Amino acid sequence: MALINNRSKFSFFNKVRVLLKNILKPDESVEDVVDEHFRFTSSLSLDAPDGQIENLYQDEKDGKYHLTLFDNGLTGATGILPAAYTEWLIERKLRYNDDAPKAFMDMFDHRMYCLSYLAWQKMHLSGDENRRDNNVLNNVLLSLGGITPQTVSVTGLAYVAFYSQPVRSLAGLEQLLSLIHQIRVSINPFRGTFENTEPSEQGFWGIASILWGKVLS
């Protein structure tokens, strides 16, 4: 069992988001990875919750992340079921060493927590970085900045800020051109002269074979 440093007990969704970023592969969907690489259970503690996450560790055998949570589960002090169910599960575990009833309820807990994370990811832009598909929320926010999904598909989200600025800098244009054409681009403004273009970068235009690109203003 590999313990993970849990610095914040109040960030269940963000904790899953960060872990997903490390294990998600390009050909995998978020829904499948959350279901297969995580195991969510609700706490059996009847004490006042100390945050959202009670315990977090990674199984060394299968590499799955196990999270025991206080909120929105079936059992525990803030669980959906009455406290009598939690007390009965505690008795079965401590007196008879019987984990079967809790394991049965964990199947429903796991499914509920998976759906909760997917719902949070759908409605929060911070959780959108792990999604592969085109979604409405992302498109609406980009449209407010005058950016289309087609533009993002060319340059990626890393360069969205260059388009949203009222005054676009030459440094940003250099980075965009370098990214698109995969060459080193340097722009010298207000030169006002013509410079010879390298022969390898010149071309012919039309059936008349007119040479163009000999000089570059």
Q: What is the pLDDT of residues 180-210, one digit of tens each?
A: 777 788 888 776 676 777 777 766 666 655 5
Distances (CA, A) of 128 to 13, 136, 138, 209: 12, 11, 8, 50
Total number of domains constituting the chain:
2
Last residue of a domain, one of 130, 152, 176: 130
**123 and 185, same domain (yes or no):** no
Q: How far apart are CA 195 and CA 128, in angstroms?
A: 46
pLDDT at 154: 57
pLDDT at 215: 47
Q: Is the pLDDT of residue 60 over 70?
A: yes
Q: Is 183 left (phi over 0), alpha (psi -120 to 50) or beta?
A: beta
Last residue of a domain, one of 103, 130, 157: 130
Last residue of a domain, one of 130, 146, 181: 130
Mean pLDDT, rounded, of the chain: 80
Q: Rounded mean pLDDT of 82-108?
A: 95
Q: How confident is the model at residue 216 (pLDDT cuts 50, 70, 90)?
A: very low
**117 and 177, same domain (yes or no):** no
Among the residue ranges 93-97, 119-123, 185-189, 205-209, the one predicted with the least confidence is: 205-209
**141 and 99, same domain (yes or no):** no
The whole domain housing 199 covers: 136-216
Report CA dihedral (168, 173, 175, 177) to the nearest 10 degrees. Answer: 150
Q: Rounded mean pLDDT of 97-123?
A: 94
Please give the residue that has the higher pLDDT: either 72 or 154: 72
Distances (CA, A) of 172 to 97, 116, 187, 191: 63, 39, 11, 19
**98 and 155, same domain (yes or no):** no
pLDDT at 217: 46
